[in-house]
Amino acid sequence: MSRFKLPDLSIITGIVLGGGAVMLTLFGNPVNSGICISCFLENLAGALQLQDSVRMSYIRPELVGFLLGAFFMAKQNRRFRVTGGSSPLIRFFLGFFMIVGCGVFIGCPIKMLLRLGAGDLTAVAALLGMLFGIWLGGKYLRAGSVLDRAQNLPTINGYILPGIGFLLLLFLFLKPAFVQQGFSGPAAQHAPLWISLAVGLLIGGLAQRSGLCITGGIRNFFLFREKTLFSGVIAIFVSALMVSLVSGQFNLGMEAQPGAHHSHLWSFLAMVLVGLAAVIVDGCPFRQVIKAGEGDVDAGITCFGMVTGAAMVITWQLRSTSAGPVFNGQIATLLGLIFCLTVILSYRKARVKR
């Protein structure tokens, strides 16, 4: 009798992530964005009053769950390795611009897959943009453009981000006065705290074990035809599609799509930026959160850049609305692309000199 073989962990993670995200929308999260790192970070920035849109202010328990789930899993499996010191400022701004790109598209790479899984064809331009950005980033990697090597750091460095996660968890329960929460808009659309937290912890733990990353999976496939993480990415899409179909949330087309716009060129460019920045920084926004939980201080710096970006995306209007991209967002996208290419160019030169 042949032995029953479990699918690869990245596939399981993908299934839980895609299916769990759509389930969260059934429990109350905003439609098509059951899980979206950029939206969640915008909400977090609002909750901490780093931006002033009350309608976008809520400490998303899923986000805390991702961070702490990864932390617990890494500790449990002795994979909590504290490293850092690689190009911190560059990583900060790459994190910043990744969220700008997400803001202009209206969603991170996970949300892009969720939107596609729900039949939103406006996300196709974004998918093409991200594929192009990752492909281009892969070319640069092959040509030798890599950020500095990280080194081992004293353990306390690795505890700071999970510590912030615990603090945010405390804020969720204690509700101090300086934490604000919107009573209407996306902030009011959320699944019950315990469900969100449990799903976040589960996904965080699984993602730490499997190393699932949207951009990383596609990058590995482009570079080495390596399919492990890529299967996880496909699993996110397929499971989101299945749950959307079963739950009646599937709506194929370009019209009446929630949290979308029809400026396909800007969706494309915004996700080129996200894909490219993610390749340089080694991981999509979701992966950065997971890595920050497992002791990667560089990813922690990128997370700080992402939170700052999330706040500025709202305050400076560096984003899109359902009406399309705001001018500031278009300029910020272009600046982000310029920044990425400049970093790539300068690191290529640095390597050639060495």
Q: Which of 323, 327, 353, 354 touches another protein by CB under 8 A?
A: 323
Measured from the CB atom, is 115 or 209 closer to another protein? 115
Query: Please, which residues have CB within 8 angstroms of residue 138's CB and are 6 or more apart in sequence?
Result: 219, 222, 223, 279
- Is there binding between residue 185 and another protein (CB under 8 A)? yes
Burial class (CB in 10 A: 0-12, 13-18, 19+), 177: exposed
- Is there binding between residue 20 and another protein (CB under 8 A)? no
| Interface stretch with another protein, choices 11-19, 53-61, 70-78, 218-226 (CB under 8 A) | 53-61
Q: What's the CA gap between 280 and 140, in Å, rounded?
A: 9
- Is there binding between residue 106 and another protein (CB under 8 A)? yes
- Is there binding between residue 32 and another protein (CB under 8 A)? yes
At which residue do the structure tokens 């998918």 appear?
127
| DSSP 8-state secondary structure symbol assigned to residue 56 | G
Query: Please, which residues have CB within 8 angstroms of residue 239's CB and are 6 or more apart in sequence?
Result: 14, 15, 16, 17, 18, 19, 22, 117
The minimum distance between CB 175 and another protein, in angstroms, equals: 4
Measured from the CB atom, is 107 or 283 closer to another protein? 107
| Interface stretch with another protein, choices 65-73, 249-257, 304-312, 325-333 (CB under 8 A) | 249-257
Q: What's the CA gap between 97 and 108, in Å, rounded?
A: 12
| Interface stretch with another protein, choices 31-39, 155-163, 208-216, 227-235 (CB under 8 A) | 31-39
Q: How many residues does the chain have?
A: 354
Nearest Cα to Cα of residue 23 among 200, 186, 231, 169: 200
The minimum distance between CB 56 and another protein, in angstroms, equals: 7
Nearest Cα to Cα of residue 130 among 116, 147, 145, 118: 116
Q: Which of 49, 155, 247, 322 touches another protein by CB under 8 A?
A: 322
Measured from the CB atom, is 82 or 281 closer to another protein? 82
Residues 189-218 that bind another protein (CB under 8 A): 189
Measured from the CB atom, is 103 or 305 closer to another protein? 103
At which residue do the structure tokens 């599937």 appear?
250
- Per the structure block, which two tokens stand in for 68? 């702490």
Nearest Cα to Cα of residue 104 among 334, 348, 333, 343: 333
- Is there binding between residue 160 and another protein (CB under 8 A)? no
Whether residue 19 contacts residue 246, with contact meaning beta carbons closer than 8 Å, is answered with no
Sign of CA pseudo-dihedral 199, 92, 292, 157: negative
- Is there binding between residue 130 and another protein (CB under 8 A)? no
Q: Which of 14, 19, 22, 33 touches another protein by CB under 8 A?
A: 33
- Is there binding between residue 31 and another protein (CB under 8 A)? yes
- Is there binding between residue 55 and another protein (CB under 8 A)? yes
- Is there binding between residue 164 and another protein (CB under 8 A)? no
- Is there binding between residue 326 and another protein (CB under 8 A)? no
The minimum distance between CB 53 and another protein, in angstroms, equals: 8
Interface positions with another protein (CB under 8 A): 30-33, 36, 39, 42, 53, 55-56, 106-107, 170, 173-177, 179-181, 183-186, 188-189, 255-262, 321-323
